[in-house]
Amino acid sequence: METRFKIINNENFSYSHVKLSLEAGEGIVLSKGEELISLLPERSEREVLLAFTVDKRYRGDQKLPIRAVLRAGNVILASEDLGLTWEKSGIPSWLLPVLGGVIVFVFLAVLSRRISVVPRVPTKTPSETRIDPLYSTLSDTTRNRYLPVRKIGEGGMGIVYEAKDTVLGRRVALKVMKDEISLRRRERERFLREARIAAQLRHPNIIMIHDVIEDGSGRICLVFEYLDGEDLESIIQREGAIKPDRAVYYVEGILDALSYAHGRGVIHRDMKSSNVMVLRDGGIKVLDFGIARVETDTLYTISGVTSGTPAYMAPEQHEGKEVDARTDIYGVGVIFYEMLTGDLPFRGPDLFIQKQRMGFKKPTELNSSLPSWVDEIVTWCLQPDPSNRPQSAEELMREIKKWGG
């Protein structure tokens, strides 16, 4: 039985294209295979394609690097075409074992550096090969200065890595723009705005930005200080409710940062527990000013545009109305409730209605050991009408210090 092979390159490459070809019984040759795989937007798609190329599943113990040529099933993965001229012509099935042997020989020869079939690429560090394809697509200049240590996390706009700055000899957090963001002008601008806003804010409780890189690959990378700690959401998920005195300490640190930011006309707009880092030394850092609004900025104050995380959003955000410092206060109220009870005040599909009706259980109903004043603070912060909330971070701070400070 013959297998018809297609050469797939950057011009006609997509996951659905590859999948349909395989389902139709056609073989495929991926020219510049590593580069193509890195273009897949979803990690699951990359893993499926890799499964085709390495005997149905990738075995980490084999440590098979994706280099010159690998073949399995009906997929051939190549760093470049290597003179393959199959195009759409059929290959007799009896020739496949011979071809496979030749490919293995070429592959081993490349590894041993006895012959040079593909252009020499910069040697990757062991940690780099374990992260994901996105980092490997950055320019040599960026990768040589910032050596990857591990992947820290991933958001809608970028992936964050711990890296070592080889010039200054310090640990940093490198936020790399995703492919789909780099292609959209508005989202690209939002990514840059995070850098510009963070650069304005110099406060011990706000993450500091060191540099912005417009990489030769077309992506933007933000270089932040490296934070040795854990985000508040993870702590709550692991430990459950936090003791009141500790929760008060964290809230005071958050409010101190917001007071500073608000004083400079910056509204965070996405206050949530995952955007608060608790450092090993006990300090607090507020993160991710990616959707923050500067009061003089008109681009992101369009009526009807909703930004934020639904469970933490103030009612005015759900409605796409104007936001101000009191919007961030609402988010702090949700975080305080979450710390005291180990749960969110609002859950389910009808969040906006719940918030309008203030349909949440008071913290003392869920934890009878809590002092009664925490109910008053939470209820004050979660008022649906901004005029009935604390009017500033300073006002809320004074009231918390009065009762729990």
Q: Which pLDDT belongs to residue 42?
A: 47
Q: Which pLDDT belongs to residue 294?
A: 53
List of residues 6+ apart from 224 with CB closer than 8 A:
172, 173, 174, 175, 198, 207, 208, 209, 210
**pTM of structure:** 0.64
Residue with tokens 């050596």: 147
CA atoms within 13 A on the CB side of 354: 15
Q: Which pLDDT belongs to residue 86?
A: 31
Question: Which residue is catalytic, options 270, 288, 297, 350?
Answer: 270
CA atoms within 13 A on the CB side of 339: 27
Considering the domain delimited by 126-225, tell me its CATH architecture. 2-Layer Sandwich (3.30)
Which residue ranges in the chain fall short of pLDDT 70?
A: 1-132, 181-184, 290-308, 405
Domain borders along the chain are 3-112, 126-225, 229-404
Assign a CATH topology to domain 229-404: Transferase(Phosphotransferase); domain 1 (1.10.510)
126-225 and 229-404, same CATH topology = no
Catalytic residue at 270?
yes
159 and 151 Cβ atoms separated by less than 8 Å = yes
What is the gyration radius of the CA atoms in the chain, in angstroms?
Answer: 26
